[in-house]
Homo-oligomer: A and B are copies of this chain.
Amino acid sequence: MIKISKLTDYAVVVLTQLSRDHGVHTVAHLAESSGIPAPTVAKLLKPLTAAGLVASHRGTNGGYALNREPERISVAAIITALEGPIAVTECVSDADSLCGVESLCPMRGNWEKINRAVRAALEDVTLADMAAPSPWPLPPATAQATARTETRTGESRG
């Protein structure tokens, strides 16, 4: 369904918490206040640390803290940290993996065009945006949305 993994979803939640309180937070604390199992929180913080989005502090009174202003952390950066380069198709994501279907390959340039557009959309939203209160439902902005969009509106519960 062209969606991100649950782990990435959780990562945004955890990072949002860190952005609200700039101090150092332990995994246990973050897990408790978010409702996400602690081992899972620890798991997602690892690649986030490796990517330099958060900083870790060991020992007593240690924990994790944001390593950069929320305004300077894009959703694209978060996704990239956890899932690797953003690519809608496997074709372009790694040079080693062949397509399997040869006739697919001639259009990898077109897929890359799509990838860039998606990437740009994701670069444009920062953690600060995500932490900010969100108006819901969203005001209709560009109206290029499909006809299907209106099928489900009204019963927003999720």
Listed in ascending order, the chain A residues whose CB lies under 8 Å from chain B are 1-4, 9-10, 12-13, 16-17, 33-36, 75-77, 79-80, 83-99, 101-110, 112-114, 116-125, 129-138, 141-142, 144-146, 148-149, 151-152, 155-158
Contact assessment for B90 and A152 in the assembled complex, using a CB-CB cutoff below 8 Å:
no
Contact assessment for B119 and A145 in the assembled complex, using a CB-CB cutoff below 8 Å:
yes
Contact assessment for B112 and A138 in the assembled complex, using a CB-CB cutoff below 8 Å:
yes
Contact assessment for B101 and A34 in the assembled complex, using a CB-CB cutoff below 8 Å:
yes
Contact assessment for A1 and B95 in the assembled complex, using a CB-CB cutoff below 8 Å:
no
Contact assessment for A99 and B146 in the assembled complex, using a CB-CB cutoff below 8 Å:
no
Contact assessment for A109 and B134 in the assembled complex, using a CB-CB cutoff below 8 Å:
yes
Contact assessment for B4 and A4 in the assembled complex, using a CB-CB cutoff below 8 Å:
no
The chain B residue sitting closest to A119, CB to CB, is B145
**When A1-B87, A157-B98 are in contact, do A120 and B106 touch as well, CB less than 8 Å?**
no
Contact assessment for B144 and A120 in the assembled complex, using a CB-CB cutoff below 8 Å:
yes
Contact assessment for A117 and B121 in the assembled complex, using a CB-CB cutoff below 8 Å:
yes
CA–CA, A152 and B87, complex, Å: 13
Residue A158 contacts which of B4, B92, B158 (CB distance < 8 angstroms)? B92
